[in-house]
Amino acid sequence: MVEKLLTVKNRAGIHARPAAIIAQTANRFECEVTLIHEDITVNAKSIMGVITMAAGYNTVVKLQTEGADEKEAAQALEELFESKFEEE
Partner 1 sequence: MADKKFTVLDLLELDLQGHDSLNLRCVAGRKGLTRALTVPDVNRPGLALSGFYEAFAYQRVQVFGRGETAYLKKLQEEGNFEIIHKLFSYQMPCCVFTQSLEPPEEFVKISEEANCPILQTDLASSDFSSRLLRAASNVFAPKRTMHGVLVDVFGIGIFLSGHSGVGKSEAALELVERGHRLVADDIVELSCVNGNTILGQGANTQISHHMEIRGLGIINVSQMYGIGSIRSQKEVQLVVNLEEWDSKKIYDRIGTEQKFVELFGVKVPLLEIPVKPGRNLPIILEAAAKNERLKHMGYYSAKDFNQNILKWIETGEAQAVYYGGDDSY
Site string for partner 1, 51-80 (x = CB under 8 A): xx-x--------------------------
| Residue of 12, 46, 59, 84 interacting with partner 1 (CB under 8 A) | 46
8 Å CB contact between 25 and 14 = no
CB atoms within 10 A of CB 16: 10
Stretch that binds partner 1, among 41-49, 56-64, 65-73, 78-86 (CB under 8 A): 41-49
8 Å CB contact between 76 and 25 = yes
State CA 39 to chain mean position distance: 16
CB atoms within 10 A of CB 85: 21
Stretch that binds partner 1, among 1-9, 47-55, 59-67, 75-83 (CB under 8 A): 47-55
User: Active-site residues: which are they?
Assistant: 15
Binding site for partner 1 (CB under 8 A): 16, 27, 38-43, 45-49, 51-52, 54
